[in-house]
């Protein structure tokens, strides 16, 4: 192939926040002839020159879309992490959808590149984890629940495709939690609770990636060739207690069991998202990934550190420090001025 | 004036980014208290006023002249308020291991330091062998039923070398609520090759107790007899990263909780490696948790350099076993020597 640039790009999950943003970034690239967005529901925001095709990737009709449009690059973003949808349906969407999509990719002679959005949740979270995960590390305790398990299975199927179609450029991106003004995820809902319950006796290390950085990584991976698996995270680490102090949110440490009961009650009666087992484990043991491989490959660093991404999330939601601190400041100033 | 500067710097509470200090290296062999006292004695009369006003917060102003500026007490309170403010607003930094240098220096270490000075009266030897900068692996014997020796070693290195010792701890620590995250905030991490190599690559001073539970939980009758040094994982890491091993003997920790029996069924029930019976625990209830005030000595030995073997030797189990045995014998010999020098256990 003379040119490495993608010409016809298919983006899955385009009606959701991340898919819409990535489609917008890609259509701004003059080197890309067509951007095709697929999803099961119509998009809520205008997509510009992106062509929307309403198709369920769990059905073989996705293969027809890929074949008829001559798609050469697939950006697979429709990993569902939310808990609002019943678990069985989420699994269906994540795993069966990926299988169908990959089957279609394997068939298509035009296919050149596959970019898959995965999650750092594939590393699990346990007290026996190394402090920092690199891409080669296996999880100490493999995730056994929820979207983390789905992501592990998705990556397995992607490896299978890679074996059968060694001519494809396959990029797997393991993102830590997205954060920013536009992100709505179980973690952002958790952080925005008026009083935040934490797990008694645990203070996890968290990492965030700003939405703009995540989209920039996805764009570069699509228009350039960077085969391999990469962790994506903002530099630095925040402890949960530190993050909640920065947010000015009061927090109540509760034993782990009562926290999951509380989450269950919240889900049933107050329409909240509850605490999924993988979120609960993250809130106990935390997780940190090493991004040096990504930085070396792209010669680029995320513009927002974990701290900066969190600060932007706070200002977007009008969260910050409460009043009593002003008293401390005045007292300190009075003492040093005298 | 230059010497004066160096002495002043020694009095400043150390943060995370203490510059390595050549002068300290020269003075390191002096017992810690003497070094402090001498620094005070040497203070020239002409410069004393400015220094005390700035440094020894809370001390009365000798001349009572400096009325225009805020007094030392006010400064101290203001500094305390600023600290409180930073803690309440989360405006502090932690590294990727969860190490919180500010919390460690201001809260965690002072608690241990009181015990270090007044309860165990720790004496140090061979401090000149601990590098002031660059990576190194401190390998020490482990004892005492509860790992108080790790705490005391951290205080010793922080106060007299000016570095933060990053210990490698058992996975049990990270499963226990509270203990796990406090240990991370104090700069320690899980004992696994990946974490050890990562810390050493960052140029940190890493401490390890290769005996593990076998060492810390051995019965009192076997005191000061070193157990097997794990599987030599620490030697592999040192070989791969090319860092020197600093052998270290800790004497005194064996007597703090003399373990005279072990309730195995109860330990199994609680998921612990052992359930110790000491002369005071559980006989006296919570009071049995107070350690006996033994006299401690910590001796650092000459760095063992492994460059001659090269990083490939890490894949040769025979070399690794030989070096492991060599380190173990070295530490055992240092333990016996230091034990002789210490004399009676409690005076």
What string of H, E and C letters represents the secondary structure of A159-216? HHHHHHCCCCEEEEEEECEEECCCCCCHHHHHHCCCCEEEECCCCCEECEEEHHHHHH
> Three-state SS for A35?
strand
Using pLDDT thresholds of 50, 70 and 90, give the confidence band for residue A5: low
B267 occurs within a structural domain? no
* Mutation for B interface: A126, A128, A131, A325, most B CBs within 10 A: A131
More confident residue, A327 or B209: B209
B245 occurs within a structural domain? yes
Residues B80 and B202 in one domain: no
A40 occurs within a structural domain? yes
Q: Rounded to whole angstroms, how far apart are CA atoms B266 and B277?
A: 11
Residues B109 and B31 in one domain: no
Tokens of B50: 């400015």
Q: Rounded to whole angstroms, how far apart are CA atoms A197 and A189?
A: 12
Residues of B with a Cβ under 8 Å from any A Cβ are 69-71, 74-75, 77-78, 81-82, 84-85, 87-98, 100, 171, 174-178, 180-181, 184-185, 189-190, 192, 194-195, 198
A311 occurs within a structural domain? no
What element of type H or E holds B123?
A: strand B123-125
End-to-end CA, chain A: 75
Tens-digit pLDDT profile for residues A44-69: 888 889 999 999 989 999 999 999 99
Residues B120 and B224 in one domain: yes
Decide if pLDDT at A265 tops 90: no
B183 occurs within a structural domain? yes
Are B81 and A328 within 8 A, CB to CB?
Answer: yes
Contacts of B285 (CB under 8 A, 6+ apart): none
> Three-state SS for A21?
helix
Decide if pLDDT at A161 tops 90: yes
What integer best gives the mean pLDDT of chain A? 89
**Positive or negative CA dihedral for A204, A248, A236, A119?**
positive
**In this predicted structure, what is the pLDDT of residue B13?**
43
Residues B112 and B84 in one domain: no
A62 and A38 in contact (C-beta within 8 Å)?
Answer: yes
B277 occurs within a structural domain? no
Tokens of B294: 């033994």
Domain that holds residue A96: 8-179+208-234+288-302
A314 HSE (CA, 13 A, CB side): 19
Task: Provide Rg for chain B, Cα atoms.
Answer: 22
**In this predicted structure, what is the pLDDT of residue B60?**
41
Chain B touched by A156 (CB under 8 Å)? no
**Strand B261-262 to B276-277 pairing:** antiparallel
* Mutation for B interface: A138, A238, A242, A259, most B CBs within 10 A: A242
The total of other beta-carbon atoms located within 10 Å of residue A124's CB is 25
Residues B84 and B218 in one domain: no
Residues B84 and B117 in one domain: no
Tens-digit pLDDT profile for residues B144-202: 999 999 999 999 999 999 999 999 999 899 988 999 999 999 999 999 999 999 999 99
Give contacts of A130 with chain B, Cβ < 8 Å.
190, 192, 194-195, 198
Are B78 and A241 within 8 A, CB to CB?
Answer: no
Q: Rounded to whole angstroms, how far apart are CA atoms B296 and B307?
A: 33
* Chain B nearest CA to A328, separation (Å): 7
Chains A, B: CB contacts under 8 A, how many?
106
**Which residue does chain A place closest to B169, by CA atoms?**
A128
Decide if pLDDT at A311 tops 90: yes
Which of B45-57 are b and which e, b meaning 16 or more Cβ less than 10 Å from the residue's Cβ?
eeeeeeebbeeeb
> Three-state SS for A60?
coil
What element of type H or E holds B207?
A: strand B205-208
Tokens of B314: 């890490």
Decide if pLDDT at A84 tops 90: no
Tens-digit pLDDT profile for residues A167-187: 999 999 999 999 998 888 888
Using pLDDT thresholds of 50, 70 and 90, give the confidence band for residue A323: low
ω before B282 within 30° of 0 (cis)?
yes
Closest Cβ opposite residue B95 in set A237, A241, A329: A237
- Residue A263 CB-density burial (10 A; 0-12 exposed, 13-18 middle, 19+ buried): buried
B46 occurs within a structural domain? yes
Residues B44 and B107 in one domain: no
A218 occurs within a structural domain? yes
Q: Rounded to whole angstroms, how far apart are CA atoms A21 and A56?
A: 20
CATH number at residue A31: 3.40.50.720
**In this predicted structure, what is the pLDDT of residue A137?**
93
Please report where in the chains the tokens 């090493």 appear, as a residue: A290
Residues B179 and B296 in one domain: yes
Q: Rounded to whole angstroms, how far apart are CA atoms B320 and B309?
A: 10
Domain that holds residue B203: 101-256+291-342
The total of other beta-carbon atoms located within 10 Å of residue A151's CB is 28
A251 occurs within a structural domain? no
**In this predicted structure, what is the pLDDT of residue B63?**
45
Residues B132 and B179 in one domain: yes
Task: Provide Rg for chain A, Cα atoms.
Answer: 21
* Chain B nearest CA to A199, separation (Å): 9
Q: What is the DSSP string of B261-281?
A: EE-HHHHHHHT-S--EE-SST
Number of domains in chain B: 2
**In this predicted structure, what is the pLDDT of residue B227?**
94
Q: How far from A129 is each of A125, A224, A319, B175, B267, CA to CA, in Å? A: 7, 33, 32, 11, 24
The total of other beta-carbon atoms located within 10 Å of residue A326's CB is 10
Number of domains in chain A: 1
**In this predicted structure, what is the pLDDT of residue A217?**
97
Q: What are the residue ranges in chain B where pLDDT is below 70?
A: 1-69
Residues B241 and B329 in one domain: yes
Closest Cβ opposite residue B97 in set A131, A236, A238: A131
More confident residue, A171 or A93: A171
Q: Rounded to whole angstroms, how far apart are CA atoms A10 and A37?
A: 6
> Three-state SS for B247?
strand
Q: What is the ipTM of this complex?
A: 0.89
């Amino acid at each position: 192939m003379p040119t490495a640039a993608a010409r016809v790009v298919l983006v899955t999950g385009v009606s959701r926040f991340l898919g819409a943003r990535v489609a917008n970034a890609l259509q701004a690239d003059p080197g890309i002839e067509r951007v095709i967005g697929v999803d099961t529901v119509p998009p809520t925001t205008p997509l510009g020159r992106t062509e929307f095709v309403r198709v369920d990737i769990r059905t073989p009709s996705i293969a027809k879309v890929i074949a008829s449009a001559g798609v050469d690059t697939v950006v697979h973003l429709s990993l569902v992490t939310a808990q609002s949808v019943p678990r069985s349906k989420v699994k269906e969407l994540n795993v069966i959808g990926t299988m169908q999509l990959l089957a279609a990719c394997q068939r298509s002679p035009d296919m050149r590149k596959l970019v898959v959005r995965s999650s750092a949740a594939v590393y699990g979270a346990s007290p026996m984890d190394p402090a920092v995960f690199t891409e080669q590390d296996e999880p100490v305790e493999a995730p056994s629940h929820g979207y983390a398990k789905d992501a592990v299975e998705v990556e397995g199927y992607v490896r299978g495709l890679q074996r059968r179609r060694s001519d494809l450029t396959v990029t797997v991106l393991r993102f830590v939690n997205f954060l920013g003004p536009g992100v709505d995820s179980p973690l952002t809902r958790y952080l925005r609770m008026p009083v935040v319950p934490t797990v008694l006796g645990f203070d996890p290390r968290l990492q965030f990636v700003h939405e703009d950085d995540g989209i920039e990584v996805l764009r570069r991976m699509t228009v350039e060739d960077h085969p391999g698996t990469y962790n994506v995270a903002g530099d630095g680490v925040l402890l949960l207690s530190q993050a909640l102090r920065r947010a000015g949110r009061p927090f109540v440490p509760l034993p782990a069991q009562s926290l999951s009961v509380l989450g269950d009650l919240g889900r049933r009666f107050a329409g909240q998202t509850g605490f999924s087992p993988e979120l609960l484990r993250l809130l106990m043991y935390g997780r940190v990934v090493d991004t040096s491989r990504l930085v070396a490959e792209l010669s680029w660093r995320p513009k927002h550190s974990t701290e900066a991404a969190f600060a932007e999330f706070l200002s977007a939601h009008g969260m910050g420090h409460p009043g009593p601190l002003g008293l401390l400041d005045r007292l300190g100033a009075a003492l040093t001025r005298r | 004036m230059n010497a004066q500067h160096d002495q002043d710097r020694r009095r400043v509470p150390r943060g995370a980014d203490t510059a390595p200090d050549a002068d300290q290296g020269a003075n390191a062999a002096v017992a810690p208290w003497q070094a402090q006292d001498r620094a005070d004695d040497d203070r020239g009369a002409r410069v004393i006023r400015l220094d005390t006003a700035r440094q020894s917060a809370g001390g009365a102003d000798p001349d009572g002249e400096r009325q225009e500026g805020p007094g030392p007490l006010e400064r101290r309170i203001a500094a305390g308020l600023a600290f409180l403010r930073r803690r309440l607003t989360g405006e502090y930094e932690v590294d990727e291991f969860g190490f919180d240098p500010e919390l460690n220096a201001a809260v965690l270490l002072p608690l241990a330091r009181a015990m270090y000075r007044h309860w165990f009266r720790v004496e140090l030897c061979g401090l000149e062998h601990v590098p002031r900068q660059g990576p190194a692996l401190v390998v020490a014997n482990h004892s005492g039923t509860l790992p108080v020796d790790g705490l005391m070693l951290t205080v010793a290195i922080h106060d007299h070398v000016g570095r933060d010792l990053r210990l490698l701890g058992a996975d049990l620590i990270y499963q226990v609520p509270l203990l796990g995250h406090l240990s991370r905030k104090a700069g320690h991490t899980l004992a696994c090759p990946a974490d050890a190599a990562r810390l050493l690559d960052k140029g940190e001073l890493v401490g390890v107790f290769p005996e593990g539970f076998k060492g810390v939980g051995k019965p009192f009758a076997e005191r000061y007899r070193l157990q097997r040094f794990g599987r030599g994982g620490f030697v592999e890491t040192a070989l791969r990263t090319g860092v020197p091993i600093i052998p270290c003997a800790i004497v005194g920790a064996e007597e703090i909780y003399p373990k005279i029996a072990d309730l195995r069924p109860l330990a199994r029930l609680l998921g612990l490696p052992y359930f110790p019976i000491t002369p005071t625990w559980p006989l006296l209830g919570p009071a049995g948790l107070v350690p006996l005030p033994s006299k401690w000595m910590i001796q650092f030995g000459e760095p063992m350099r492994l460059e001659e073997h090269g990083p490939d030797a890490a894949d040769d189990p025979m070399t690794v076993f030989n070096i492991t045995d060599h380190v173990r014998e070295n530490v055992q010999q240092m333990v016996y020597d230091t034990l002789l020098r210490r004399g009676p256990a409690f005076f």
